[in-house]
Structure 1
Amino acid sequence: MRPDEFLRALHLLPIPLHDRAVALRAYVRPTRCDDCQQIGDALNLALTAAHYDELSSTQHLLDAAERLTTRHGTACRHQPDQQRGRGRVGRWAGTSAPLVAATDASWKGRAGGIGYVGSDGHYGLRSRGTGRLDPTGVSRVLINELRAVEFLLSAYDEVPAGMTVLLDSLVALRYLHRWQAGDTGAMPAGYNLRARRWSAQPTLVRLAEAVGQRPDLCFQHVKGHAGHALNEAADGLCHMARRRLDETFDVRPRAHALVDAFLRDWHASLTR
Structure 2
Amino acid sequence: MRPDEFVRALHLLPAPLHDRALALRAYVKPRRCETCQAIADALRVALTAAHYEELGSAAQLIDTAAQLATRHHLACRPAHEPGRGQVRRWADTSAPLIAATDASWKGRAGGIGYVTSDGRYGLRSRRPGRVDPTGCSRVLVSELRAVEFLLTAYDTPPVGMMVLVDSRPALNYLHRWQDGESGAMPAGYDLRPRHNGIKPTLVRLADLVGARPDVTFAHVKAHAHHALNEAADSLAHMARRRVDESFDVQARAHALVEAFLREWHVALAA
Aligned partner of 1:88 among 86, 89, 95: 86
Secondary structure at the aligned position of 2:30 is classed as: helix
Q: Cα deviation per residue 1:131-158 (whole Å; 9 max; x = unaligned)?
A: 4233454x11000100100111111111
Flag the 1:112–1:263 CA change in 2: closer, same or farther, 3 A.
same
Contact 1:49 1:55 in 2 (8 A): no
1:67 alignment partner in structure 2: none
**Secondary structure, in 3 states, of the residue corresponding to 2:100?**
strand
Helix, strand or coil at the partner of 1:205: helix
- The residue number in structure 1 matching 2:5 is 5
Query: What amino acid maps onto 1:111 in structure 2?
Result: A
- For the Cα contact (< 8 Å) 2:46–2:57, is it kept in 1? no
Specify the SS of the correspondent of 1:239: helix
- Per the alignment, residue 237 of structure 1 pairs with 235
Determine if the alignment matches structure 1 residue 133 to structure 2 residue 137.
Answer: no
2:4 and 2:208 in contact (8 A); partners too: no
Query: Structure 2 CA distance, aligned partners of 1:22 and 1:156?
Result: 11
The one-letter code matched in structure 2 to 1:105 is: A
- Asked if the contact 1:9/1:47 (under 8 Å) is kept, the reply is no
Superposed, 1:181-200 pairs within 5 Å as: 181-198=179-196, 200=198
Change (3 A) 1:196 1:224: same
Residues 1:45 and 1:223: Cα distance change in structure 2 (over 3 Å): closer
**Aligned partner of 2:213 among 206, 212, 215:** 215
Please give the alpha-carbon distance, in whole angstroms, between the structure 1 residues aligned to 2:189 and 2:164. Answer: 23
Structure 1 gaps, min length 5: 29-38, 63-78
Which residue of 2 is the match for residue 71 of structure 1? none
Distance 1:214 1:10, change over 3 A: closer
Kept in 1: contact 2:109–2:240 (CA 8 A): yes
Query: Superposition pairs for residues 133-172 of structure 1, below 5 Å?
Result: 133-137=132-136, 139-172=137-170
- Kept in 2, the 8 Å contact 1:134–1:140? The answer is no
Q: What is the CA distance between 1:211 and its match in structure 2?
A: 1.1
1:72 matched residue in structure 2:
none
**Is 1:110 the equivalent of 2:108?**
yes
- AA aligned to 2:5 is E
Aligned letter for 1:133? Answer: D
Provide Cα deviations, 1:178-218, integer angstroms capped at 9, x if missing partner.
Answer: 11111111100001100111453211111111111211111
Deviation for aligned residue 1:161: 1.0
Which secondary structure state, in structure 2, belongs to the residue aligned with residue 81 of structure 1? coil
**Contact preservation (8 Å) 1:181, 1:212:** yes
Which 5+ residue runs of structure 2 have no aligned equivalent?
33-37, 65-77
| Matched residue SS, 1:219 | strand
For the aligned residue pairs, the C-alpha RMSD in angstroms reads 3.6
Deviations 1:68-114 (A, max 9, x none): xxxxxxxxxxx63333x211110101111111000001111111111
After superposing on structure 2, the runs of 4+ consecutive aligned residues of structure 1 that deviate more than 4 Å are 6-14, 17-25, 42-56
How many angstroms apart in 2 are the aligned matches of 1:46 and 1:167? 37
SS in 1 for 2:132: coil
Task: Give the alignment's TM-score, normalised by structure 2.
Answer: 0.76
> How many Å separate the matches in 1 of 2:134 and 2:151?
23
Q: Percent identity of the aligned residues? A: 62
Q: What amino acid does structure 1 have at the position aligned with 2:2? A: R
**Structure 1 residue aligned with 2:119:** 121
2:246 to 241, 245, 248: 248
In the TM superposition, what is the alpha-carbon distance from 1:252 to its structure 2 partner? 1.0
Greater CA deviation, 165-174 or 47-56?
A: 47-56
Aligned residue pairs, count: 247
Distance 1:191 1:235, change over 3 A: same
Output the CA distance in 2 between the equivalents of 1:8 and 1:135. 25
